[in-house]
Amino acid sequence: MTFPVQKTDDEWQALLQQRGAEPVAFQVTRHKATERPFTGKYERQWADGSYHCICCGNKLFDASTKFDAGCGWPSFSLAVLGAISEITDTSHGMKRVETVCAQCGAHLGHVFEDGPTDTGLRYCMNSASLNFTPT
């Protein structure tokens, strides 16, 4: 899959450092790592605003769609239209749907069909892949 924003690993690392990203952000966004549950800076945040891709700034979620799933990662019921691409993920002996930024391909997390709202979706995201902008 090709994305509009392309950079080398060195360029992504420099950009993430410049943005003050968490140390694990490069491994999460560019190499599909997962932060430990209940450790991300946005897991317990409930302020008004929006969540953007830490790599390219693409708006991904409105804070009004965030809910406490009790899973240890920030969870959202609805993504901004066209902001996220979905990829079948069969790693670790499971079949899941990986979510990536539609602009730069950054790994964000996974989406599951067990959400509590009318969408039925739970976008389970790594805090390290997100940047919050308050309103």
Residue 2 included in any domain: no
Note the pLDDT tens digit of each residue in 36-55. 999 999 999 999 999 999 99
C-beta of residue 84 within 8 angstroms of C-beta of residue 102: yes
Q: What is the mean pLDDT of residues 48-77?
A: 97
Whether residue 105 is predicted with pLDDT greater than 90 in this model: the reply is yes
CB neighbour class for 48 (10 Å; exposed up to 12, middle 13-18, buried from 19): exposed
Residue 52 included in any domain: yes
Residue 4 included in any domain: no
Q: Domain of 90: which CATH number? A: 2.170.150.20
Residue 3 included in any domain: no
**CB atoms < 10 A from the CB of 98, how many?**
18
Residue 31 included in any domain: yes
Residue 43 phi, psi (nearest 5): -60, -35
Quote the pLDDT of residue 93.
Answer: 87
Helix (H, G, I), strand (E, B) or coil at 84: strand
Residue 44 included in any domain: yes
Residue 106 included in any domain: yes
Q: Tally the domains of the chain.
A: 1
Whether residue 20 is predicted with pLDDT greater than 90 in this model: the reply is yes
Mean pLDDT of the chain: 96
- Name the residue among 35, 5, 52, 19 with its Cα closest to residue 126: 35
71 classed as catalytic: no
At residue 104, what is the residue type?
A: C
Residue 1 included in any domain: no
User: What is the domain range of residue 45?
Assistant: 9-134
% of the chain surpassing 70 pLDDT: 100
Predicted confidence band at 4 (pLDDT cuts at 50, 70, 90)?
very high
